[in-house]
Every structure is written in structure tokens, then in C-alpha cells.
Structure 1
Amino acid sequence: MSHATHSNAALTPRTRLRLARLIIDQGWSPARAAERYDVSWKTAKKWAERYLAEGPDGMVDRSSAPHRQPNRTPAPVVRKIVHLRWKHRLGPVQIADRLGMQASTVHAVLVRCRISRLTHIDRATGEPIRRYEHEAPGDLIHVDVKKLGRVPDGGGWRYVGRQQGEKNRSATVVRTGAPRSKHRAPLIGTCYLHTVIDDHSRVAYVEAHDDETKETAAAVLRNAVAWFAERGVTVHRVLSDNGGCYRSHLWRETCADLGVTPKRTRSYRPQTNGKVERFHRTLAEGWAFKKFYNSESARLAALPAWIHEYNHHRPHSAIGKATPITRLDNLAGHHS
């Protein structure tokens, strides 16, 4: 028998069966069988009776929960607790105050319903988070643009302080001839990171550009589809937000040329593209702002190595701590 045994049980299911068969099949007395297995005669008698009634299947442990629980929170009250948690994101104390209950009782209900942590609930709607994952690489890719202020020569304010950061920015503006502004700090430009994430594997493809025009977005899509094709993945669908570059005729034409179906997120629902949004956080924390860079070129030079680390060596918690590249159904030699 492979059934689990209670941690404090004196006998395993297999031993219980042997004991019961001695009594029922071989005619031993309960006292004699109990002495053989070093248990009380009551225990021996219990297992013998259960064997007689249920056979070998009766040798496993039964639940210790009572058949009736008259003091359990009624179902209508449970529904009210769940409603207040989902819709209004209230804690046990606030819910208990509204319903005239003990906070400990409310907390027990929330734990039983597995909504004791608000991280399981969508922040915008209060609905339970519905996580999804497409079955195969290439079934769906997510695309988006992450904007980052460029790093001035000498380093940005996060590492050198506000005062020195402004001096570095001004000096970079003079060197590069970037436009000045009377009412704002000198501008040194924006880096547009066009990111592509495979829904199934979380493998990432990133290109840094000076803009987010439709031409750039279309070129990045062509490059990404080719990059995935080299790794044995055929892209079928692409999901984007409602940015101008993704609403263009050029974007639709490019998708048609590549045999890719374009899809867009619902308005005001960035959570639909949550995988790429989460990747942007990882990108910012792991590369963009992780350490001091003395120039924008130095930061961009470090990007390819970080992307390789993310795809090939960094365990991803959402896919069982595997590395993204191992989920691609590709040719040998590409996982190195």
C-alpha cells in the first residue's frame, strides 16, 4: 500500500493488515496479536473489525474531521466575507467590524478560501488574478516599449547625487548639442527599449532605439521573429498595447507579411500585457539601475550580457525556477 500514514501512528497500513489477518484469517485472539505487534488489544480489535468490514482498503487512516461542524461559519456569511475581500480589499478587522464577527473567524475563512493575501487579487478590479500561459513557444509573444532617461556623462543622480547629476547632465547637453529648456532640467534624450517576451518560455528579445515610431516597431518585430525562428520557434500571435506604433497600417502589414496575428490589450488594462510589464521591472532592477554607469554607451554595452544572463542562466520563478531558454523546443546547442 502506498497510502500516507499519520505521523504519530504506531502501525503502518501494511502492518495493520498483517495484524488483522492474524485475528480474522488465522484465528488469533486480539490480545495475542496485540502482544505480537506491541499495541493494545483495543487497537488490535479495531483493525480486525475494520478489516472484516472493509477489507485491505480499511487499513488506511481516516480523516479526523468531525462529520458535522455546527459552529462552522455559515455559507452565506462566507460569501459576504469573500465579497468584501475581493471587491473592497478589506482586511479581517474591517470585515469583522462590518459583519459583527470576530476578526480571527474572518481570517480563518480567508485562509480557507485562499485569499488571505492581497497579492492574489488584481489591484485594479479586486478580482482574483487569472494567470494564463500559452502551451507552446511562439503561440503568443508580448511586445512593448520601455522608456529610460539616458545616463549623462559622469553618471546619473542616483549614484552621484542630485547636484552633481545636474552638472553632468548640463555638460552632456553641451557636448551632444541636445535641446535646452527654460523651465525644465537640460534634456539629454530618452532610450526606447523595444522588448519582446515569449509567453510560454519568458525568453526575451530586446533592442535599444532612439524612438518608438511605427517603422522602428515594425523592424523590431521582423528581427524578433527571425531571432526566434533561428531557435526553432515559429511566432503565431503578437500582443501589444494600444500605442500609436502598434495601431498603424505598417504594423498590420508587417504582421501579415510575417504570418503573425496581431492582438491588442483592452484599453486601460495593462495587466493583460503583464508578463512584459513584469520583465520591464526585472530589466530596470537587474540592469538599468543596478550599478553605476558613467555614460549611456556604457550602460547599453552591458545590455546584451544581461539579456543572455536572463535567458540562459537566471532561474525564473514563474516557470518552476527553470531558465527561460530551456523551455524553447529548439535545436541542440542553443542552450549554451
Structure 2
Amino acid sequence: MVHANAPLTEKHRLRLAQLIVDDGMPVAHAAVRFQVAWPTANRWAERYREHGEAGMADRSSRPHHSPTRTAPAQVRAIVRDRMRLHLGPIEIGARRGIPASTVHRVLTRCGLHRLTHLDRVTGEPVRRYEHPHPGDLLHVDVKKLGNIPDGGGWRYVGRAQGKRHRAATPGKPCSAHGSKKMGTAYVHTVLDDHSRLAYAEVHDDEKAVTAAAVLTRATTWFAQRGVTVRRVLSDNGAAYRSHAWRDTCRDLGITPKRTRPYRPQTNGKIERFHRTLSNRWAFARHYTGESQRRDALPGWLHEYNHHRPHTAVGRRAPISRLTNVPGQYN
């Protein structure tokens, strides 16, 4: 961008060069007329002779050659230490015999200057994506939670009292060691990739029939909010590889997709939602029984969808990304 008070914009450079080259005005006279130095006027005239009007545009100040730039082999070594070992500039510099400032410049140039840009498990750069419209992609998964015994679980009442509550809970089978088996609550979750709008149901299993029924009800729930589901992304669990899941997706007109094996980061949005689900609902307070926790799920989902600010959608509620919700503008 040209400075506001610059004596020569591209238009005035052209006029200056044309006066010298086309009209024959002496360079010194043209420099006085445009209030610039003689070498400046001469430089634009030479560029005009060589390139014409195209030569009046700004050029990059980047040098053509950088003989002291860090060698490619050293750059690869720095990036390798950063991605595999998660080392900082000082540690990498000491390891490779390079100044820490040089290491930092290399990491910045490669987009690795912040560890938040790297996956904590694999060390690979984080690849973020977001589909442009609601319903373009739904993430589905199952969150497993241990059922809470009557009276409360060990997280709030302690392990000793928690064991007594487990023993006193009726209708539960005993293990080989004589302790009560509380069983598992399977939270089937569905999350819209674009808006982060969430739908969830709690069941006692994660069978294919149950997962397919949840998808059917979730599709209806999203349709009531003006969202047409086009694709669904799941992991490689047995329920999502079943014929029931395939047939349900076909009947609903949805294209099923699965993540790469042993790569949960692809479905990272719903994994992050499960963390919020655990912190804000599943273990947020002292529940005196499993039924009390399950009854609290719809209220928390409403809070999440309609009121809780979400950083991924501009610190607004997920529902704000839906522009055609019935009654939204009443």
C-alpha cells in the first residue's frame, strides 16, 4: 500500500516517466517538478523504458538470494524435533547447535511456532475444517458412562460410601467378587459440523439397531429446525459398519462416512463435545441416582444449544448459526 503522503503513486510515476522518456524533459527538471530526488526520477524512467506501464507497480523488497538462510537439512531437523519431541526453540537450538532466534524464525516460517498447532498425540500439524452449511455433515459417536448408584457415586461421596451405595442399589447383578455391577450408560450423540448444534439420547446399549434409531430421530429433530442432513461421519465401531446402519442411511438419503482407523482426530469435534458433556453434565454435580442424571440431560442440551457461547462459532450459541429456524424472528 502506498503511503498517504507519498509524492509518487503509480499514476504519478507514469506521468514522471513519460515526461522524461516520451517528452524528452531532462531528468533533473522532472525531479524538481515532482519534488523527488534525481536518482528516484531516473529509476522510474529506466523502468518505464524497460517494462512500460507495468514497470510502475510496486515490487517486492525480498532479496533474490539469501546466502545466509538456514540450510534445508537444518530446517528439516528443526521441524522433526518440533513435531516428534515437541521441543521449544531453546532446546532445539542447544540440540542442533543453532541460535534459538534462528530456530524460532524457522518454526514461524513453517507454521509450527505454537504447540497448539500440533496434534498432542501424533505431533502432526492440526488440520481444521468446517463444512459451509448446516446439515452438510453430522458427527455421531457414543460416550460410555458408568451408571450412578442410588445415593450418589464415589466422585462426590468417596470410595467407601460409594461402595455402600452400590451394594444397596436394588436390581443390579453381582460380579464374581460379590460387588454390584452398576452397568453402563451409552450416550448416543449427534453433532452438526457447521453449527455445533447437538442432539443426544441415553440408552443401555450401543447396538446397531439403537444407533440407527437415534439417527432417524436426530434427522427428524434437525429437520424441525430447518436442517437437511446430507452426510454422517462415524468411527469404525460395529454399529456403524452394520447393515442396519447402512440401510437406515440409505432410507434417509444420507451418505455414510467413516474415519480412518485409529485416527479419532478426524471426528475431533464430537470428541471435544464429549469432554464438555462430561464436565458440564455427566459429572457437573452430585446426582443421587442414574435416573436423576438422565433427566437432567435435555435441560443441559437446551442450555448448550441455545445459551452457552461457543468459541468455534464466534462465541455465540450454536442455534445462532441456523438462519431458518421456525419462529426465530418472531
1:285-323 Cα deviation digits (max 9, x unpaired):
111111111221221121111111111111211222232
Does residue 138 of structure 2 align to residue 144 of structure 1?
A: no
How many angstroms apart in 1 are the aligned matches of 2:241 and 2:64?
Answer: 60
Give the % identical residues.
Answer: 60
Offset of residue 17 of structure 1: 5.2
Q: Which residue of 2 aligns with 1:259?
A: 253
Secondary structure of the residue aligned to 1:208 is: strand
Secondary structure of the residue aligned to 2:256 is: strand
Matches within 5 A, 1:79-90: 79-90=76-87
Picking from 136, 161, 168, the partner of 2:165 is 168
TM-score normalised by length of structure 2: 0.79
Aligned residues: 306
Secondary structure of the residue aligned to 1:310 is: helix
How many angstroms apart in 2 are the aligned matches of 1:135 and 1:77?
Answer: 39
Secondary structure of the residue aligned to 2:167 is: helix
Going from structure 1 to structure 2, the CA distance change for 1:185 and 1:273 (only over 3 Å counts) comes to farther
Structure 2: runs of 5 or more not aligned: 17-28, 46-58
How many angstroms apart in 1 are the aligned matches of 2:93 and 2:128?
Answer: 30
Going from structure 1 to structure 2, the CA distance change for 1:90 and 1:14 (only over 3 Å counts) comes to closer
Q: Which residue of 1 aligns with 2:188?
A: 194
| Kept after mapping to 1: 8 A contact 2:233/2:257 | yes
Q: Which residue of 1 aligns with 2:307?
A: 313
| Kept after mapping to 2: 8 A contact 1:233/1:329 | no
How many angstroms apart in 1 are the aligned matches of 2:314 and 2:72?
Answer: 35
Amino acid corresponding to residue 113 of structure 2 in structure 1:
S
Amino acid corresponding to residue 92 of structure 2 in structure 1:
I
Matches within 5 A, 1:12-27: 13-15=3-5
Offset of residue 135 of structure 1: 1.5
How many angstroms apart in 2 are the aligned matches of 1:334 and 1:305?
Answer: 20
Offset of residue 114 of structure 1: 2.9
How many angstroms apart in 1 are the aligned matches of 2:236 and 2:160?
Answer: 38
How many angstroms apart in 2 are the aligned matches of 1:109 and 1:293?
Answer: 52
How many angstroms apart in 2 are the aligned matches of 1:157 and 1:189?
Answer: 15
Offset of residue 180 of structure 1: 0.6
How many angstroms apart in 1 are the aligned matches of 2:199 and 2:278?
Answer: 15
Secondary structure of the residue aligned to 1:302 is: helix
Amino acid corresponding to residue 311 of structure 1 in structure 2:
N
Amino acid corresponding to residue 225 of structure 1 in structure 2:
T
| Kept after mapping to 2: 8 A contact 1:143/1:197 | yes
TM-score normalised by length of structure 1: 0.78
Q: Which residue of 2 aligns with 1:242?
A: 236
Does residue 106 of structure 2 align to residue 109 of structure 1?
A: yes
Amino acid corresponding to residue 101 of structure 1 in structure 2:
I
Picking from 117, 121, 127, the partner of 1:120 is 117
Secondary structure of the residue aligned to 1:192 is: strand
Going from structure 1 to structure 2, the CA distance change for 1:67 and 1:255 (only over 3 Å counts) comes to closer
How many angstroms apart in 2 are the aligned matches of 1:184 and 1:16?
Answer: 87
How many angstroms apart in 1 are the aligned matches of 2:113 and 2:177?
Answer: 48
| Kept after mapping to 2: 8 A contact 1:140/1:198 | yes
Amino acid corresponding to residue 211 of structure 1 in structure 2:
D
Offset of residue 328 of structure 1: 2.0
| Kept after mapping to 1: 8 A contact 2:140/2:190 | yes
Amino acid corresponding to residue 131 of structure 2 in structure 1:
H
Amino acid corresponding to residue 110 of structure 1 in structure 2:
L
How many angstroms apart in 1 are the aligned matches of 2:264 and 2:136?
Answer: 20
| Kept after mapping to 1: 8 A contact 2:230/2:254 | yes
